[in-house]
A and B are shown apart, each in its own frame.
Chain A
Amino acid sequence: MNAVARLGAIALEQFRAWGHATFFFMEMLRAVPASLRRFDLVVAQVHAIGNRSLVIILASGLAVGFVLALQMYYALVIYGAAENLGLIVNLSLVRELGPVVAALLFAGRAGTSLTAEIGLMKAGEQLAAMELMAVDPKARVLAPRLIGGIISMPILAVLFSAIGILGAWVVAVLLIGVDAGNFWSIMQTGVDVWRDVGNGVVKAAVFGVICTVVALYQGHETEATPEGVAYATTRTVVISSLWVLGMDFILTALMFSRP
């Protein structure tokens, strides 16, 4: 009986957390129009979230492009199909790796800083102080960060894919000597703007919402202690990453299931 009761308690706790997070998200959405009226706040957040993640995203994209091209070359050259290198690298980057890896990096680079920032604001009772001054912290603090994340993430994912393809070009065409004309034209024949590039951007936007909301929620719900903030930051990375990977599977099944 005890085991059943414990199971029930766990389930109830899970439902409570889910409901809490959903309400948190809805309230933040309700605060979005108010924060759009002060767009300079959003711009500052795009700078903090997007601009500052640029270096890590570009460096990782370039590295992934290099490595993908090199490894694919070893496999493709067996079949004399080295010209297809560009197509394979492009499709894997634009459809999957670009949005997913960029989102994982985004969770690590921007999500953690959001959680720590909001968590410390809460620990220092700044959020409570705002409410006392009749300033809605959701409109002033949370919603601009949410919009900033949603704007930044697709841009970062697109740049990740673009620099990855350039990296593949460097390895394939400049270093290995694959024919440049074939490299680009096979890529252009095989990649569709809406189906591949467009869906990749949609994916990235969804991941942007997930990473930012998780980070803000964890920060907002953190225990107001140093350990609490540390735990919340860790949880942000773990939960966002799992969500991104799971959601990526669902989105891929929805977007690319038809041949």
Chain B
Amino acid sequence: MVKRKIEILVGFFVLLGMLGLVFLALQAANLGSIGGRDTYKVQARFDNIGGLKPRAPVRSAGVLVGRVKTISLDAKTFQGVITMEIEREYQFPKDSAAKILTAGLLGDQYVGLEPGGDDANLAAGDTIAQTQSAVVLENLIGPFITGRADSAGAAAGAASGAGQ
């Protein structure tokens, strides 16, 4: 009887462990959201992918429709090539555009898909032709910095010129 009791207790222990693992996998991790959904792969080329990472979300109208699978560099054109896995239930026109956007001001980067007007849909293995690269903060701010430096230099030059 003691042996039977121990076996029951150990059974509960192992069961509790399995429940914990299921909780971690489904509620606290991403198994529920990627669990064996049917997807198709689409490529896109960008001049600059910014801080995009594998497994970044692909969104259309803000809705999660897929994920970035791989990121590589095309050795000929020196463009960043990303492969996305888009869920089969979402079909996009062939002339859809892909943008690399940022969630919030400092958030993670994701791919935004904007549907076009073509009758034919993107098929597996297609490449999205219209793309817009990531906004690199340095490139945005750079002109302001150099611009201000120029005007400051001009002002200094004018001042020294007036002094003479």
A159-189 CB mask vs B (1 if < 8 Å, else 0) is 1011101000000000000000000100111
| Interface SS majority for chain B | helix
Partner of A43, one of B7, B23, B24: B7
Which residues from B are CB-within-8-Å of A158? 17, 20-21, 24
Is B73 engaged at the interface, CB distance under 8 Å to the other chain? no
Task: Determine if B6 and A191 form an interchain contact, defined as CB atoms under 8 angstroms apart.
Answer: no
Task: Determine if B10 and A162 form an interchain contact, defined as CB atoms under 8 angstroms apart.
Answer: no
Partner of A155, one of B14, B29, B55: B14
Q: Interface size on B (CB < 8 Å)?
A: 25
Is A208 engaged at the interface, CB distance under 8 Å to the other chain? no
Query: Which of A151, A158, A163, A187 is the most central at the interface, judged by chain B CB atoms within 10 Å of its CB?
Result: A158
Task: Determine if A188 and B29 form an interchain contact, defined as CB atoms under 8 angstroms apart.
Answer: yes
B22-65 CB mask vs A (1 if < 8 Å, else 0) is 01110111111100000000000000000001010100000000
CB distance from B102 to the nearest CB of A (A): 15
Which residues from B are CB-within-8-Å of A159? 16-17, 20
CB distance from A10 to the nearest CB of B (A): 43
CB distance from B101 to the nearest CB of A (A): 16
CB distance from A159 to the nearest CB of B (A): 5
CB distance from B128 to the nearest CB of A (A): 23
Task: Given A184-B27, A193-B29, verify A43-B10 contact (CB < 8 Å).
Answer: yes
Task: Determine if B20 and A188 form an interchain contact, defined as CB atoms under 8 angstroms apart.
Answer: no
Task: Determine if A197 and B29 form an interchain contact, defined as CB atoms under 8 angstroms apart.
Answer: yes
Q: Give the nearest-CB partner of B30 in chain A.
A: A188
CB distance from A179 to the nearest CB of B (A): 15
A54→B16 CA distance, assembly (Å): 10
Query: Which of B10, B23, B25, B31 is the most central at the interface, judged by chain A CB atoms within 10 Å of its CB?
Result: B10
Which residues from B are CB-within-8-Å of A36? none
Task: Determine if A51 and B17 form an interchain contact, defined as CB atoms under 8 angstroms apart.
Answer: no
Is A107 engaged at the interface, CB distance under 8 Å to the other chain? no
Binding site for A on B (CB under 8 A): 3, 6-7, 9-10, 13-14, 16-17, 19-21, 23-25, 27-33, 53, 55, 57
Closest CB pairs A-B (n = 9): A155-B17, A162-B20, A191-B29, A158-B20, A193-B31, A159-B20, A193-B29, A47-B6, A51-B13
- A sample of 13 cross-chain residue pairs with beta-carbon separation below 8 angstroms, ordered by A number, consists of A46-B10, A47-B6, A152-B13, A155-B13, A159-B16, A162-B19, A163-B20, A184-B27, A188-B27, A189-B30, A197-B25, A197-B29, A201-B21
